[in-house]
Chain A
Amino acid sequence: MILENVLRKLGVVLMAAAVATVTAVGASAKVEGDTVYLGAAISLTGKYSTNGAHTRKGYDLAVEQINAAGGVTVDGVAYKLGIVYYDDESTPARGAQLAERLIQQDGVQFILGPYSSGLTRAMAPITEKYGIPMVEANGASISLFQEGYKYLFAVLSTTEQYLQGAVALAAETAGEGQTLRVGLAMENDPFSQDVRAGVIADAERLGMRIVIDDKLPPELNDMSATLAKVRALRPDLLVVSGHAKGAALAIRQIADSRIDIPMLALTHCDAAQVIEKFAEKAEFALCASQWAPGLSYSDELFGSARDFADLFEATFDYAPPYQSAESAAAVMVFADAFERAGSFDPAAVRDALAATDMMTFYGGINFDDAGRNIAKPMVLFQIQDGEYRVVYPSEASEAELRHPTPRWSER
Chain B
Amino acid sequence: MFENLQLLIDYPSLGVDLIANGLMIGAIFALAAFGMALVWGVLGIINIAQGEFVMLGGFVALTAAGLGVPPLLTIPLAAIALFILGWSLYRLVIFRVVDRDLFVSLLATFGLSIILQQLSNEIFGADVRTLETGLGTMVLFDGQIVLAEIKLVSFVTALTVGLVLWAFLKRARLGQAIRATAQNARAARILGIDTDRVYAATYALNAALCGAAGSLVVMAWTIHPYIGLPYTVRSFLVVIVAGLGNIVAVITAGLGLGALENLAGFILGAEYQIAFVFVLMVILLVGRNFWLRRKREYLE
Contacts and interface: CB of A to CB of B under 8 A. Distances in A.
A276 to B, nearest CB: 10
A226 B265 contact: yes
Interface in B120-151: 121-122, 125-130, 132, 137, 139, 146, 148, 150-151
Contacts of A272: 127-128
B193 interface: no
A49 B128 contact: no
Interface of A: 45-51, 185, 188, 214-217, 219, 221-226, 228-229, 231-233, 244-245, 247-249, 252-253, 256-259, 271-273, 277-279
B7 A232 contact: yes
Contact of B269 (A48, A214, A219): A214
Contacts of B221: 221-222, 249, 252-253
A215 B275 CA distance: 13
A253 B17 CA distance: 14
Given A221-B217, A225-B270, 5 more contacts: A49-B126, A214-B271, A229-B4, A244-B224, A256-B220
Contact of B270 (A50, A185, A231): A185
Given A47-B226, A219-B229, A257-B148, A228 B137 contact: no
Nearest to B231: A221
Nearest to B217: A221
B271 A219 contact: no
Nearest to A216: B270
B109 interface: no
A222 to B, nearest CB: 5
Contacts of B139: 258
B226 to A, nearest CB: 5
Nearest to A251: B130
Contact of A244 (B18, B128, B262): B128
Nearest to B137: A258
19 contacts: A47-B224, A47-B225, A50-B127, A185-B270, A215-B271, A216-B271, A217-B274, A221-B227, A224-B25, A224-B265, A225-B266, A229-B4, A253-B221, A256-B137, A257-B21, A257-B146, A271-B127, A278-B130, A279-B132
Nearest to A408: B137
B148 A256 contact: yes
Interface residues of B, number: 46
Contacts of A222: 25, 221, 262
Contacts of B11: 232
A245 B222 contact: yes
B57 to A, nearest CB: 14
3 cross-chain pairs, A with B, having the tightest CB-CB distances, nearest first: A225-B265, A215-B271, A256-B148
Interface string B154-190: 0000000000000000000000000000000000000
B158 to A, nearest CB: 15
Contact of A249 (B146, B222, B263): B222
Interface of B: 4, 7, 11, 14, 17-18, 21-22, 25, 118, 121-122, 125-130, 132, 137, 139, 146, 148, 150-151, 217, 220-222, 224-227, 229-231, 262-266, 269-271, 273-274
B128 A248 contact: yes
B132 A278 contact: yes
A47 B126 contact: yes
B17 A228 contact: yes
B146 A225 contact: no
Contacts of B126: 46-51
Contacts of A221: 217, 221-222, 227, 230-231
B167 to A, nearest CB: 30
A77 to B, nearest CB: 42
A188 B271 contact: yes
Contacts of B25: 222, 224
A253 B262 CA distance: 14
A183 to B, nearest CB: 12
A49 B225 CA distance: 11
A231 B17 contact: yes
A217 B118 CA distance: 22
A48 B126 CA distance: 7
Contacts of A47: 121, 126, 224-226
B227 A233 contact: no
A229 B273 contact: no
Contacts of A279: 132
A228 to B, nearest CB: 5
Nearest to A211: B3
A222 B269 CA distance: 13
B103 to A, nearest CB: 25
Contacts of A50: 125-127
A249 to B, nearest CB: 5
* Interface hub of B121, B125, B263 (most chain A Cβ within 10 A): B121
Contact of B128 (A229, A245, A253, A257): A245
A259 B139 CA distance: 11
Contacts of B4: 229
Contacts of A277: 129-130, 132
A217 B271 contact: yes
Given A47-B121, A258-B137, A228 B18 contact: yes
